[in-house]
Amino acid sequence: MNRSIYAIAAILLAAVTISCNPAKAYEEEEKSLIASYIAEHNINVAPDSDGLYYIELEPGTGELIRTGDSVGVYYTLFFLDGEEIQSNVGGDTPYRLRVGSYEVIEGWSVGLRHMKLGTKARILMPSSLAYGTTGFGYYDYYGNYYSVIPGYTPLLYEMEVVELVRARK
């Protein structure tokens, strides 16, 4: 009898935990934000299998960028409401990275593999390809945390590839 009471209690606890999962609400809100942005801006490209929307503004030349290639990129990062978060456009040097490396969010590597040298594009990525469920922020000298990008936040990048060094085979 005691075992059956414990089993029923465990099942009820599991059901309550699953039904009260706040992550589902955040995921649905993120999907709604992306759908609204797509509709408002008349974007007619389909997302890739990772949920990334690639919108080419100017084509590049040559072959597509591959994992392992090194690139130099000018970019501007926006929230979907249009607020600019960060940019290196107008700077003296582009942001340099190796495609597929740990130093950048996954959405960059996925998006850059759609591009060629000289390509300009907008890349809309879900949080799963960006800063995920935890977001991005920093601690100051006193230990105070400042959130820059909240969790479950889709991001929009405008990018231009200005340098390309092929990986050795």
Q: Coil, strand, or helix at residue 9? A: helix
In-domain check, residue 53: yes
- Residue 106 has a pLDDT of 94
In-domain check, residue 9: no
Domain count along the chain: 1
Domain hosting residue 67, numbered range: 44-165
| CATH number of the domain encompassing residue 156 | 3.10.50.40
At residue 25 the predicted structure's pLDDT band, cuts being 50, 70 and 90, is confident
Report pLDDT digits (tens) over 112-132: 999 999 999 999 999 999 999
Q: Are 84 and 78 in contact (CB under 8 A)?
A: yes
- Residue 27 has a pLDDT of 82
Q: Are 134 and 116 in contact (CB under 8 A)?
A: no
| Range 85-91, long-range pairs (CB < 8 A, 24+ positions) | 85/148, 85/149, 85/155
Mean pLDDT (whole number) for 5-29: 62
Report pLDDT digits (tens) over 49-63: 989 999 999 999 999
In-domain check, residue 17: no
Mean pLDDT (whole number) for 142-149: 92
The alpha helices in 57-152, defined as continuous H runs, are 106-112
In-domain check, residue 56: yes
What global pTM score does this model have? 0.82
- Residue 24 has a pLDDT of 76
